[in-house]
Amino acid sequence: MQAKTKVVVAGGGTAGWLTAYSLVTRLGKLLDITLVESDQIGSVGVGEATIPTMRTFHRLVGIDEQEFMAATHATFKLGIQFNNWGQQDESYFHSFGEIGQRSWMAEFHEFWLEAKAQGFGGSLDDYCLELKAAKANKFATMAGNKPLNFAYHLNATAYAAYLRTKSEIAGVKRIEGRIEKIQNDQTGNIASITLDNGSTVSGDIFIDCTGFRGLLIDENLQVQYEDWSHWLAADSAIAVQTEAVEAPRPYTQAIAHSAGWQWRIPLQNRVGNGIVYSSQFLSDDEARSTLMGNIKGSTISEPRQLRFTTGRRKKAWHKNCIAIGLSSGFLEPLESTSIHLITTALVRLMKLFPFGGNTHLLSEQFNRETQLELETVRDFIILHYHLTQRNDSPFWQHYRTMAIPDSLAHRMAMFHENAYAWPDDVALFRVDSWVQVMMGQGLLPKQHHGGSRMLTPENLQQQMMALSKTINHSVTQLPAHADFIHTYCPALDR
């Protein structure tokens, strides 16, 4: 029988334990998996909002939704409310649901644009079940026979602990210790790591989950980092937890300030808060004052400072080392993609896993797909900043007037001239996602597809009224978000 491939996961937290658990559940018969972490090193653990792709990944690795949510104090998320992004005192919603009913030729927003030109149609928001449910603070996994598209808010530290327990039961070995030295062989591959207690851990494949430091991929293998701060200026964040003073809303709030933005993420037992900002435009003291002046409820943790550089590792897979999570790159949490990028990297790794022989082509493909994905998410995040009419501060003036990637400029121009929108190249952000952000921040099309005029105004109005009425009726039938949580997944230790 062929010997098992020895995999060493360096680092714990969400990235490390999600890596270990995924590999042991899907490839466990072929792998010998060891995770090395130190209790002395805390994880970043502030990213507590997710996107719907997490549900698909959980099904892949056999995670029970109710069990996971109870263990992580999780609530449901139907989208993100953006306040003050297009202009001050304006708000819009990026929901996870489908808007209206599309045809093969034209998207629903183009029919809506035709309706508005005819003098009816109301708000585009009227045609999305998830959006209307979120605003009403209602939730259920199903509305009648229609499933809702949703994600989660979760306690990241509890999530890592939950995954650790499941991983160790499934056969992952955990070794406590701080990495002191890394030994490479004559080919440049990593052969082993030495811990502060003097023990040595050898392996065939090393997965770097050591966070921003990139202990294996950066400090040892010296893979360069591509800095994107000329497009995404934020380099700092402060996070703090507060007591819950209201029932949890089924959505994340992203509230723009004069030099950054604030998140508000409701869990079952508390609220996660934080501010993301650029030290070029705002001091740490000013950022802390802004954050603490805009929270609800008493604080239950000390504010925690984070520093980062937005960008990506030029190779996420180099030699026999694969970087997963923050060690491979970082995109700020505006669209809650951090855990998603971990899970897609893991799916990619499992499909391309190196079981011996020449792995050069496998690593090339992994790196190519990783780069495309990160650049796609980058463009979507830049869109939020660049597409603003705010000129009340140097921060917003910088974003409003800066040069943007050609790929994003083309997409914005196509929408502005012709209302044409399309999914991104990695099928992450759907047509409706691009439309909601572009229109929510004031980019309105000059014209739209003529196919929307194939219906008579009377017929178009009847169909849109019927759709809106159906959605409103469905929302009235849904329970309150907090009530559904109480019966479906109450926290184990709330």
CA distance 44 to 332: 13
Q: Does 91 fall in a domain?
A: no
CA distance 369 to 22: 19
Distance of CA 197 to the CA centre of its chain: 36
Q: Does 396 fall in a domain?
A: no
Q: Does 105 fall in a domain?
A: yes
Token reading at 238: 């402060």
Residue 41 pLDDT: 64
Please state the rounded mean pLDDT for residues 422-443. Answer: 95
Q: Does 270 fall in a domain?
A: yes
Asked if residue 32 lies in contact with residue 20, where contact means CB atoms within 8 angstroms, the answer is: no
Residue 98 pLDDT: 95
pTM: 0.96
Asked if residue 342 lies in contact with residue 325, where contact means CB atoms within 8 angstroms, the answer is: yes
The reply to whether 264 and 409 lie within a common domain is no
Residue 44 has pLDDT above 80, yes or no: no
Task: State percent of the chain over pLDDT 70.
Answer: 98
The 10 Å Cβ neighbour count of residue 376 is 19
Q: What CATH number is associated with residue 32? A: 3.50.50.60
Token reading at 125: 């928001």
Output the DSSP codes for 66-119: HHHHHHTT-EEE-EEEEESSSSTT-EEEEESSPPS---SSS-HHHHHHHHHHHT
Please state the rounded mean pLDDT for residues 34-57. Answer: 83
The reply to whether 159 and 69 lie within a common domain is yes
The reply to whether 179 and 42 lie within a common domain is yes
> How distant, in Å, are the alpha carbons of 304, 419, 453, 467 from that of 111?
47, 11, 8, 13
Asked if residue 266 lies in contact with residue 153, where contact means CB atoms within 8 angstroms, the answer is: yes
Stretch (H or E) spanning 61: helix 53-61
Please state the rounded mean pLDDT for residues 373-394. Answer: 97
- Tell the burial category of 284 from Cβ atoms under 10 Å away from its Cβ (0-12, 13-18, 19+): middle
CA distance 5 to 32: 6
The reply to whether 209 and 112 lie within a common domain is no
The reply to whether 43 and 159 lie within a common domain is yes
Task: State percent of the chain over pLDDT 90.
Answer: 93
Backbone angles phi, psi at 206, to 5 degrees: -120, 130
Contacts of 379 (CB under 8 A, 6+ apart): 405, 407, 408, 411, 424
Asked if residue 134 lies in contact with residue 37, where contact means CB atoms within 8 angstroms, the answer is: no
The reply to whether 220 and 116 lie within a common domain is no
Residue 348 has pLDDT above 70, yes or no: yes
The reply to whether 458 and 438 lie within a common domain is yes
Please state the rounded mean pLDDT for residues 379-406. Answer: 97
Assign 188 a pLDDT band (cuts: 50, 70, 90): very high
Output the DSSP codes for 454-485: SS-HHHHHHHHHHHHHHHHHHHHHSPBHHHHH
Residue 468 pLDDT: 97
Q: For residue range 199-228, what is the model confidence (pLDDT) as tens digits?
A: 999 999 999 999 999 999 999 999 999 999
Residue 45 has pLDDT above 80, yes or no: no
CA distance 255 to 88: 10
Please state the rounded mean pLDDT for residues 155-160. Answer: 95
CA distance 74 to 145: 24
Residue 102 pLDDT: 81
Residue 360 pLDDT: 94
Q: Does 482 fall in a domain?
A: no
Backbone angles phi, psi at 399, to 5 degrees: -70, -40
Residue 1 pLDDT: 63
The catalytically annotated residue of 4, 6, 29, 77 is 77
Average pLDDT, the chain: 95
Torsion of the alpha carbons at 419, 425, 431 and 437, rounded to the nearest 10: -80
Q: For residue range 5-42, what is the model confidence (pLDDT) as tens digits?
A: 999 999 999 999 999 999 999 999 999 999 999 887 65
Asked if residue 391 lies in contact with residue 397, where contact means CB atoms within 8 angstroms, the answer is: yes
Q: Does 192 fall in a domain?
A: yes
Distance of CA 369 to the CA centre of its chain: 17
**Nearest of 154, 144, 141 to residue 45 by alpha carbon:** 154
Q: Does 190 fall in a domain?
A: yes
Assign 2 a pLDDT band (cuts: 50, 70, 90): confident
Q: For residue range 233-275, what is the model confidence (pLDDT) as tens digits?
A: 999 999 999 999 999 999 999 999 999 999 999 999 999 999 9
Assign 164 a pLDDT band (cuts: 50, 70, 90): very high
Q: For residue range 58-93, what is the model confidence (pLDDT) as tens digits?
A: 999 999 999 999 999 999 999 999 999 999 999 999
The reply to whether 28 and 159 lie within a common domain is yes
Residue 43 pLDDT: 55
DSSP state, residue 52: T
Residue 87 pLDDT: 95
The reply to whether 334 and 455 lie within a common domain is no
The reply to whether 12 and 69 lie within a common domain is yes
**Residues recorded for the chain:** 494
Residue 103 has pLDDT above 90, yes or no: no
The reply to whether 218 and 356 lie within a common domain is yes
Residue span of the structural domain in which 472 resides: 98-149+405-477
Q: Does 489 fall in a domain?
A: no
Number of domains the chain is built from: 3
Residue 4 catalytic?
Answer: no
Residue 374 pLDDT: 97
HEC string for 12-38:
CHHHHHHHHHHHHHHHCCCEEEEEEEC
Of 280, 307, 334, which residue sits at a domain end?
Answer: 307
The reply to whether 213 and 314 lie within a common domain is yes
DSSP state, residue 258: T
49-88: buried (b, 16+ CB within 10 Å) or exposed (e) per residue?
bbbbbbbebeeebebeeeebbbbbbbbbbbbbbbbbbbee
